[in-house]
Structure 1
Amino acid sequence: MKSPTLRLGALAAAVLLAGGAAMAQEAQIRKGLAERIPSFPKIDEVRPSPIPGLFEVRYGGTEIIYTDAKGEFLLQGALIDAKTMTNLTEERIDKLSAVDFSELPLKDAMVIKQGSGARKLAVFADPNCGYCKRFERDLQSIKDVTIYTFIIPILGPDSNAKTRDIWCTKDAAKTWRAWMLDGALPPKSMDPKCDMAAIERNLAFARKYRVNGTPAVFFEDGTRKPGALPAAAIEKLLVAAAKKG
C-alpha cells in the first residue's frame, strides 16, 4: 500500500501534467489562429468548451468564438445545452460582463424614482441614441424602481453639447426625460461654473468596463444587458435580481 506521501506526490504530478497539457493546447490554438488569420484580435483566453475537442476562444473582453484543437476551424454562434435548452454562450458572456452594482459611481448619475423605488437598475445612455429613447419610453411602465442614468456622450459633438445642456440644468433628470420622451430641447447652458467632471468619470467608467454602445443596462445582481430591452424583459430581470439578492 502506498504511503500518504507517495499518493500526494502522484496527485501533484498528475495535476502538473494536466496543467502542462492545457498550456500546450492553448499555445497550439493561439499559434494556429495567428498563422491562419493574422488579423485575428488579441486573444484573452482559451478554454475547453463542454463539447470534447471544441474550445472557447475569448477576445475583446467578452467576445466568444469556438475552434478545434488545432485552430483550423472556427464556429460562430450560440452553444446550446439541448437537455436544458440553456444558451451556454449567453450565460458565459453574462458572467464575463457582470459588474458589481456597488461599484457603480451612483453619485454621478441622474436619479429617477418610480413608485416605491425599491428595486434598482442603472443605464448608460447617449442623448442622441434612438435606442436609448425607446428604452426610456419602456422604462416608464416599470413600477417601484429607482433608475440611475449615466450620460456618456459617445455619438459625436452634438451629444457633448446636449449632455452639457442637460447636466447643467437645475433638474437634470427632468430635463433628460423631457428630451428623450418628448423631444423638448434642453436650454443652452450658460453656466461657466457647471462641473462636468461627473461626465468625464462616466466616460472613464464606460471605457474601463467596455461599455461600447448605448443603452447598456446594469441590474443589482450584477447582470448586464446591452440594447433597448422591452418592458417585459426589464421586469423579468428585475425580478431575477431581487431573488438573487
Structure 2
Amino acid sequence: MMKLKQFAALAALALAAGAAMAQTAQETAIRKAIEPRLGDGAKIDSIGKTPYGGLYEVRVGGDIFYTDAKGDFLFIGRIVDTKTFQDQTKARLDEINKIKFADLPLDSALKMVKGNGKRVIAVFEDPNCGYCKRFRQTLNEMDNVTVYTFMYNILSEDSSAKSRNIWCSADRAKAWDEWMLKGKQPDAAPANCSTPNDKILALGQKMKVTGTPTIFFTDGTRIPGAVDQKGLEAKLASIK
C-alpha cells in the first residue's frame, strides 16, 4: 500500500513537472514570436496563460496586452467579465502596478494637511500641467486629507526651474498652491539651494509614472490622470 501511495505521489509530481515544462515552452515560443516585433528595444517582462478564452497575458513594463497560443495575434484592450461586469484588465493592472506607499520618500515631497489629515494620498504633478491645476482645485475643496506632492518635471523645459523656485521658498506648500491655483510666480531660488528634482524624476520613471497628475493611495493603487471630488472621495472611502 505504501509503495502504491509513493508511486501515485511520484506520478503526480511528474505530471506537474511536465505541465510546467510545456507551459514554459509555450511562453518561450510566444516571446520569440512577439518580442522582435515590439520595436524600440522593448522587452517582455512576463507571459502567462489567463483563465479566459485561452489567451495569454503579455506584460511589458506597466502595461499588459493579450495574444493567442502561437503569438500570431495581439489583442489590445480591456477584458470584462460579462457576469459581474468587472474589468479584469484594470484589476490586473492595479495588481502589477501596486507600490509600497510607506517606501515613498515623503521628505522629498510638498506636504499639505487639511482638517484632521487622516486620509493620505501622494500625487505626482508638473508645474506646467493644466490637469494638475484642475486637480489642485479639487483638493482645495476637500477636507480631512493629507497630500504629499512630488514635483515631477516632464512637460516643459522650464518645469524644473519652476519646481526649484517653489522648493526653495520659505513655505513650499503655499508657494505651490499659489502657482497652481492663482498663477503667482514664486521668487527666484538662491544659487546655493539644492532640490530633489533629479531624485523625483528617477523615482517616477522607476514607478512607471508616464503622465501627470498620477495619484497614489495608501493601499498601493494609483489613478493616472485627474479625478473629480466625487470620484476621489469614493476611492478614499474604499480603502480599509
**Is there any run of 5+ residues in structure 1 with no aligned partner, and where?**
none
2:13 aligned counterpart, secondary structure: helix
Q: Distance in 1 between matches of 2:4 and 2:184?
A: 80
Q: Please report how far the alpha carbon of residue 50 of structure 1 lies from its aligned counterpart in structure 2 after TM superposition.
A: 2.1
Q: Report the equivalent of 2:15.
A: 14
Q: What do residues 142-192 of structure 1 show as CA deviations (whole Å, max 9, x unaligned)? A: 221000001121123210110111110000100000000111111122x22
Q: Distance in 1 between matches of 2:67 and 2:238?
A: 33
Q: Distance in 2 between matches of 1:88 and 1:184?
A: 44
Q: Distance in 1 between matches of 2:38 and 2:163?
A: 40
Q: Report the equivalent of 1:63.
A: 63
1:57 aligned counterpart, secondary structure: strand
Q: Report the equivalent of 1:156.
A: 156
Q: Report the equivalent of 1:212.
A: 210
Q: Report the equivalent of 1:42.
A: 43
Q: Is 1:4 aligned to residue 5 of structure 2? A: yes
1:157 aligned counterpart, secondary structure: coil
Q: What do residues 91-122 of structure 1 show as CA deviations (whole Å, max 9, x unaligned)? A: 00011111111011111111101111011000
Matching residue's letter, 1:100: K
Identity %: 44
1:181 aligned counterpart, secondary structure: helix
**Is there any run of 5+ residues in structure 2 with no aligned partner, and where?**
none
**Structure 1 segment 1-245 matched on structure 2, within 5 A:** 1=1, 3-34=4-35, 37=37, 39=39, 41-59=42-60, 61-189=61-189, 191-196=190-195, 198-241=196-239, 243=240
Q: Please report how far the alpha carbon of residue 38 of structure 1 lies from its aligned counterpart in structure 2 after TM superposition.
A: 5.8
Q: Distance in 2 between matches of 1:221 and 1:101?
A: 7
Q: Distance in 1 between matches of 2:164 and 2:231?
A: 31
Q: Distance in 1 between matches of 2:64 and 2:156?
A: 29
Q: Distance in 2 between matches of 1:214 and 1:144?
A: 23
Alpha-carbon RMSD across the aligned residues, in angstroms, is 1.5
Q: Distance in 2 between matches of 1:98 and 1:131?
A: 23
Are the equivalent residues in 1 in contact too, given 2:62–2:208 (CA < 8 A)? no
Q: State the TM-score, normalized to the length of structure 1.
A: 0.92
Matching residue's letter, 1:192: A
Change (3 A) 1:34 1:105: closer
Q: Distance in 1 between matches of 2:39 and 2:178?
A: 45
Number of aligned pairs? 238
Q: Distance in 2 between matches of 1:39 and 1:204?
A: 24
Matching residue's letter, 1:87: D
1:206 aligned counterpart, secondary structure: helix
Q: Distance in 2 between matches of 1:140 and 1:3?
A: 71
Q: Distance in 2 between matches of 1:25 and 1:153?
A: 42
